[in-house]
Structure formats: C-alpha cells, structure tokens
Structure 1
Amino acid sequence: MENQKQQQALDTATFLRVRKWYLLALATIALTIIVAQILIQQHLNSQLNDSRVINVAGRQRAFSQKLVKEAMLLKNASGNEVEYQRIRNDLEHALFVWKTSHDGLQNGNDSIGLPKEMNETILKLFEDLNPHHEAMVKAAENILGEINSLNLIPPSYDGHLQVLLNNERAFLGKMDAIVNEYDAQSKEKLQKLKLKEYGLLAVSLLILFLEVVFIFRPLSIQIRETISKLIRSQIKSDNTASEVKRLFAEKERSLQQLQELNFVIDNAALFASTRRDGTVVFISKKFLGLLERTETQVNLPLAEILTEDEGQQQYLREILTSKRKSIRTEEIEIKTKKGTFLWLDMSIIPMHQSSLEQSVLILCSDITERKRNQLKIEELTKQNYEERMQQKQMQASQIVEGQEEERKRIAKDIHDGIGQMLTALKFNIESINLDQKDKSKEKIAYLKTLASDLIKGVRTATFNLTPPELEDHGIFPALQKMTVELSKLTGKNILYENKTEHNIRFDSLAETNIYRVTQEAVNNAIKYAEANYILVTINHVDGLLSVVIDDDGKGFDPSVLDKVAKKNSEGGMGVFFMKERISYINGRLFINSIPGEGTRVTINYKIGAAVLDKSE
C-alpha cells in the first residue's frame, strides 16, 4: 500500500514537471511567433509606404514629360478655342499635381499618403534636383500667366518652352537616381527582416529540439512502460472475465429453471398437464369448474375437455401434440359443456425437452370479459363513425345550400343593379337625337353618371368574388384591399390594422375561409348594425392567427343569436355558415355584442406550417 502511494506521488511529480517544461516551451514558441508577426506587420506597413513613395516618384517623371508635351501642344491649338482650353486645363492640372507630389516626397503629405522623408541621401538628391524642378515650374507658370483668353501666343513663349526642354533631361536623370535609391533602401529593409526571421526560426527549432530531448523522449519511455503494464493487466482481466462468464452461465441456467418454476406457480389458477398424445395428466379444479366439467371426465383428451366444437377440437389436437421447443401463446374461443362461450389466453409450454418422453404444460387466463369489452368498444367506434359521417353529410348539404344562396345573391345584384343600369344605358343611348343639342348634352351628362354607377356596381359585384390579392399575396394584403375598397364603395370609416412584422402565408383553404368570414362580418356591420366605424385588426403570436372585427353599430342580444343564425344575412352565409367555415379549418369563432354599443367578432386559427413571404 505504501509503495502504491509512493508510485502515485512519483507519477504526479513527473506529470507536473513535464507539464511545466511543456508549457514553458509552448510559451516561448508563441512568443517567437508573436515577435515575428510584429516584425512582419511593421515591414508590411513600411513596404506600403515605400511602395506609395516609389509610385509617386516614378509618376513625377511621367508628369514632367506631360508638362513639356502640353506646353508644346498649347501653341498648336491657338486657333481652336475648345482644344486650346482643354490643353490649358490639362497643363494647369499636371503642374499642380507635379508640384504637390514633389513637395510631398520631401516634406510629407497626408492627403496623398506620403510620409516626411528622413533619409539624408535622398534629401541630398532632392537638393540637386530642386533647381531644375523650380526652373520648369517657373517656366510653366509664366506660359500660363502670359497667355491671355484671346489665345494669343506671346513672343516669350519660345523662351519659356526652351527652359522646359533644357531642364527636362536633367530632371529625368536625377529623378531616376532618386527612384533607384528608394528601391535600394526597400531591398535593404527586406534583407534585414530576413535575417531577423532566420534568427527567430533558429530559436523555434532549438526549442523544439529541447522539447524532444527533455520532454517527449522521457514521456514516450514512460508511456511505453505504462502500456506494457496495461497489457499485462488486460490479460489478467480477460482470464478473470472468462471465469466470471462461466459462473454467470451456470447462474443463468439455475435462474432459468427457477423462472420456469415461478411461472407455473404464479399461474396455477388455470393450468393442465398432458402427455405427448394429448391425454390429461393433471388439470386444476378451478379449470374444471370454468369448463363446467367434473373430475370423472378427465380421462378424455384435453382438446375434448376444453371445447364441444369439433373444429376447435381438431385445431387443439394439432397444437397440443405437435413437437416444439419454445412456448406458444394462443387466444382461442371455446364452447363449454353447457354451451357457454369463453375466451382463453392459452400458453403451451413444452417440458422435459432433454428426454425422449415430452409432456406439455398448459396455462390459461380467462379473457372473456376483456373480449366482450373490446367488442363493445368496436361497436361504439363504428356507431360514432357513422354519426360523424351523417354530421359531415349534413354540413356538406348546408354548405352547398349556402353556396347556392350566395350565387342567387350575386345573380340578384347583377340583375337588379348592373342589368337595370345597362338597360337604362341602352335606352338613353338610343334616345339621343343629335339635332337637339341641349337635350343631347343633358342625356350625355346623365349617361356619364349612369356609367359611373355601372362601374361602381361592377366593382362591387366582382369584389364580392375571390380577390386576386388573396391567391397571389395571402390573407394580409387581401384584407387590407377589402377594407380600402369597402370604405370607398360605402363611404364608411373602415380601417385595417396589421400588428404582425411579416406577411405570413399558410394553407390556401384556411386563407379563403378566414377571408370570407371576415368579409361577412364587415358586411353585416355595414348592412344590419348600421355602423359608421369598423376596425379590422390582424395579429400573429406564437403560431396563433387572430382576426378581430370591431364596429360601433347598434349591436344585438347574444341570447337570440342561435335563433337568427341562418337568417343573419340575405343570400349570404349568415352566422351559421361563418361558424361552419371556421370549424371546417379547425379554428374558433367568438361573437360578443352589447345592444347599443357595438359588436366584436374574433377569429382564432392555429397555424401549423406558416411561411414568411420574402417579397415583403
């Protein structure tokens, strides 16, 4: 025990020591990586500045040549006002950029991203270059200053141009030297960075070598020794497991025998034992009483004792005398000596399977009551199904009746409204006499009014049909369009409030029924409640769609709602069909009203698989 504690302490100390050195090595490598990254980032920033400086310096040469070129072209364009002005603008722009860049290369310029030059060699080169630059700048400024707006070339132009030409070659040569010096300095910085990177790489490789020698090698030796110990322990464990498995198998056989004995004892109420030929060895008294037999009748085969039905006797002989090694379970209906029908749950258990003589143990349970209850349940289920089918048929006939009433209403609206207006329109057109201009004007004015009413009637009739917004965009835009159109047609204050964040699409059948019920509720508020203010509010929270229609009409007594349910709307759905539509989509409809104060109709629908409309 003391040796084991000492071994554990030694393992812990070894682990702590290895962990300390390992963490130290990792921290050193991480530090070298961080330092390398800092150096690289600094060099990259320097390279960006150097690249910008070299780019601007190289561009100075091109601008000096452009300056001379534009000055020469200026004289040739003196006869063309447009071309002259363009060249003059280009010359001014080139001179400005050239001067700004030249000053920025020496003193720095934040607007074009140039740092202040600190290198003495480059500043010395700029000192040699500056006289040529200043001479060219002064000559270019003199050219621009002496040429007036009349495009007249002064006599001094050739002299200034000659100054530009004389200094251009020297400027280009010295500017090349400056660009080369920039490039040489950039390469020198890169070479220094390479040396630093090589040094950091050497340090990292040295640390890795030390890790291998002082950490990983001792650790691998210790792991190899530990694995050897584990293999020896595994072999010993396998031998022990084999012994345990053998003992467990013996225990299982004993347990199986005990289970078979317990099974017989636990189900001893209805049991029997038979020989291989089906004759009875023993049968319990309770079993005989259930079968309405006496002890003097046990000399018969068990199949004949169990039932009086010859077909069942033949079936029982086959299953009781057949050879088998597993337990068989049967649910069988039997007929007793007195003609009583019983249901038995029978388990047939083969016994003494290792001997040549095989007996059979029969264990039974009386399940007659369970079977009778099952039959009653099946009858009730069938009866409920038939009642539901009758209810569905009744609902279908009522829906068809409502559809026919809706068609009649639409036909009546078209015949009484649109049809009569079309007839009046036809007669008025036929009665126009162009010779009677005053009466013709009156009839034409009347025809305009009649045509406007006709259009309004057509819009009203077509609006009562399914709007295209419902199919194309869903219930939200369709209800908004409905309130706007009804407000225009009726002159009532009909408002729509959408409290949802997105347009939600769901089952088209549900959308259609919700739209129709909302439309009917609004129409009822207009026609029968004589409401002046109607608010349609729609909301969607936690998968529940809620549509609320509030009005300030005269209201009604809710206690008489069922009596007038089918007469609530002439030619329309009525309250009955509103409820049927919502019930058809598994929704709920609530109607609350107070006489003289108004009515609230609430539609709730649980959305199963809503889809957000991405077009919104």
Structure 2
Amino acid sequence: MIALSTIAFMILLSNLLIQHKLNQILNDSRVINVAGRQNMLSQRLSNAAIKLRTTLSAQERAEISREMETTLNLLTRSQNALLSSDPEMMVEAKNSSETLKLYENLDSAYHQMVHHGYALHKLNSAAQVYDSTQARYHISSILAQENVFLSGMDAIVNQYDIESRARVDNLIEVEQTLMIIALGIILLEVIFIFRPLAHFIKKIVYTLNQSRIQAKNLAHERTILLRSLQRSQKNLSNVYTAIEQTTLFAKSNLSTQITHVSCQFLAFMGYVNAPYPVLLSDLLQVKDSLLKQKLSYVKNHGSWNGDLRIRSIDEEVKWINMTILPVRNDQGELYEYLFLNTDITQKKEAQFKLQQAKKEKRQQKLYNQRIQSILIMNAQEKERKHIAMDLHDNIGQSITALKYYVEALYSQPEALQVKESLKNISVQLQDTIKNVRRTSFSLMPSVLEHYGIASVLNNFAVEMQRITGQHIVFINTDNFDQRLHATAETNLYRIAQEGVNNALKYAEATTIKIILSSESQKLYLEIIDDGRGFDLNQLTIYPDKTSTGHGIANMQERTKYLMGRFKVDSSPGLGTRILIQVPLNKNKHFIYGNSITS
C-alpha cells in the first residue's frame, strides 16, 4: 500500500507541476506573439502616415484615416494587455523588473506615436478642414519615434524570450527529477515485490507439475496391473496337470455304450453297490450329442482333451479333465474308445475362488486408485484456486498501478526516447494484465464457487469470446439454475473448458456452442463447434498420439468419475459434437459414487 500510495502521489504531483509549467509557457507564447505584433502595428502606422504625405483626395485620406484608427486601437489595447493583462486576449501580464524597466524606457516614444497618430487621424477625418502643415508635423513626429519604438519592442521581445526559455529549462529539470524518482520507485518494487512473487509462482507451478506427473504414473501402473492380471488368467486357464491319478477310466464302443468302468470311477460318480447306466452320457449326465461330437473329433484327429462339467447320481456338480483315446485292432480299425479322467473339482473350485479373490482385489485396487485420483484432482483444484487468488489480488493490482504510472509519464511532451520506451513498457504491461486475468479465470473462476455451473459456463463463454474474438455462446435451454455438488460443478466446468480449448486450438473453430439442459433425472452438457473435425477411427486406434485424443481422454475420465456417459461425434470437415450425460435424482441433485449429495 505504501508503494502504491507513493506512485499515486508522484503521478498527482507530476501532473500538477507540469500542468502549471505548461500554462506558464503557453501564456509566454501569447505574450511574445502580442509583443511581436506591436512592431508590425507600429510599422503599419508609419506606412499609413507616409501615404498621407502625398497629395490625395479627401476620400482617400478618409479611408487611410479609418485604417489608421483601427491600427491605433489595436496598438493601444495590445500595449495595455502587455502591461496590465487582458482576459479577452488571453494575455496575463507577469512582467519581471527588467521587462518593466524596458517598458518605462519605451513609454515616451509609445505615447508620442499614439498621440500624433490620433491627431493625424482627426485631421484627416471628413468633418475637419485639412491642414497640410499640421499633417506634415504629425507625420514627421510619428516617423521620428518609429525606430525608437521598434528597438524598444525588440528588446522587450528578447527579454520575454529569455524568460520563457528559462521556464522551459526549469520544466525539463523538474520533469527529469520526477522521472528519476519514479524509475527508482519502480526498480525498488521490482527488487522487493515482483522478484519474490516470481519465485513463489515458480515454486507453485513446479508443485503442480509434480502432482500431474504423479497422477500420470498412477494411471500407467493401473494399466500395467490390468494387463498382468489378464495374462495370469490366460496362463492359469491353459495349465493342465500332465500326470494325475488315472484310476478314473472307462471304455465304450462306437455307440457310447459302456464296456468297462473302474470301481473308483463308479464310486466317484456315486454308484456304490448300485447298477450304473448303459450309456456313458447317462453316467456323466451330459448331452449325448455333446459326447458324440467329442468322439467324432477323436475319430478324425486322433485324441481329445478337455475339462467337462458333470453331475453325480445325487446331482452333485463335479469337474473332470477327460482324455479320449481311440482303440484300434490289428487291422487298424477303430472299435472302441478309452476315457481317462482326472478329478479337478477342487482345482476348479480353487480357480473360481482365486478368480473371485482377484476380481475383488482388482476392484479394490481400482477403487483405491480412483480415490487417489479424486484426492489429487481436489488438491489440484484447491491449489489452482489459491494461485488464482494470488494472481488476481497481488500481481494484477501491482501491474495495473505500474501501467497507470507509465501511461502518465508517456503523456509528457519531452524526452522522446524515454517516451518510446515507456510506450513499449505500457503495451507489455497491458498484455501481462490480460494474461494474468485470463490465467486467473481459467484456474478457478470465482463465479463457480458462488453461483454454480450455469453462471460460470455463461461467464466462460463471454470471456473466451472476448479473448479469442471467435463466436462462443452459452445456451441454457431450460434455465437450469440448481446448485450441484462442488466436485460435480468443477468437473463439468473442466470438461467444457477442455472441449472449447480443443475446438479453438486444434479444430480452428469460429463458432462454438455450449448447451446445458436437464430432464427429471439427467443433466446434459453439449459442446458443438464448426471446426475441421477428425476421424473417430484414428482416434480410437491411437487415442494418446494426438493432443486431441489426450484431451478427449481427460473428458472421458472426468465423465466416468461423475458416473456419467460420454459421446463424441465428428467427421473431417464437419465439426465436432461432444455430449456428456450425468445422473440427477428427482430434485436435480448430483449422484456420484454410491451416494447422493446436493
């Protein structure tokens, strides 16, 4: 506050002093002009007197006499203005002692010229009888005093000029002194205010960048974990036990009628001291068509191995790993099938439990990562808000004060090189103020905190249109004005911000529409532009190869966090339409996670 008050005081003092000095210099110019004109008027009076020497007609003498009267009136009025001021002539008499002394030396010559001039005018008027002897006397007197008057007025004009130059020199000294003081104040503010602020902002930006890198690393680790789980699941499904107990076996003829079955197999299927079915499909309680399909494969390819889900006599579900081998006679003819089985029920149950455990672990991992992402985003938004307040409250005000002071120095008439430099500084400061305000608005608009998503989207459209010069409008189709959860409003604003920035930067759009609408349980946000569009297939194949794909990925991630739906339509040359749908309850409160918050 002390620095700003000092700058304001210096600006006010500088303007007052310079204005006072400029008024003095302007009055000096008028005085010098009037004084210089006195010489011209005296010469005009002498010329008129010389004309009257010659023998002229009464009419011509009367005309010259009227001209002489006008000259005398202006001469006397100007002389009185130089000595005593004349508001109508805008002349303020501030004569120094040297100037008054010169006027005293000139006083006799001036009064004689005026006296003889008026006498000559009266003599040549139409109402008087013309006396040539008196006329020659008055003419001679006027011409005799002309040189004395001219010399005296030249000395007065020179004195005025000397005094005016002294005032100009004094003005330059005052201006240079004030300029040195002002530049010194600016230098001190740069050293003790702006330099520490620059270091502080640099530190904050570094912290934000580290947070962004950490979030990116977490996302990469999540991708690696998902791929590892997929590979493990695939490997586990391809692992088979090569050597197991082979006591569970049976034989059948070509019609799948059982020709032999081990006691262990019968006990495994629950047929203890009980007759067993004739067909193997009935023993296993599987479809006969399925078993015949496997046997057909064995007949054509030599063998078959796979897992089979069966049921025992008491309807208990069991799993076996079955290997079917063809049995041929000495002539190579197929006459029966051998079924070698391994009990893998416990293995299947263990696999199922393992899959369930991995699924739960994966879901828990994803949930934890989501919570971490939420905390990181909230921390980033809080830090953005803090930076926005610092930019607006500290740097913006200081730069604005500097801009006003530089513009005040620029309005001064002297020191052209300094004037040009200050002009460049003024332009640079104006651009800096504009960028600071734009950055502050982009980081965290205060309207979002106080008035909600509809108001901030409207302000965002107006601000972006003013900054870019493109046609950017916000349309609230059903005048939605409800407040949502702060997290929801922040993410919806970031999605709109990302969409508009992509349209301006990559699509080169000239018209962008931001449309907000709602239904009973849904809120819609649309971003439509007339830009050059893009190929959705290329974006699907290479989502991270372009900045547009990265921006859409960010919008998708934020929409997923809001439990919403994201859709993008675009074609080359036909613009882009982005639609975000998030759920609302009946009272239009935002739903996210597993809870409803207003």
TM-score between both structures, scaled by the size of structure 2: 0.36
TM-score (norm. length: structure 1): 0.35
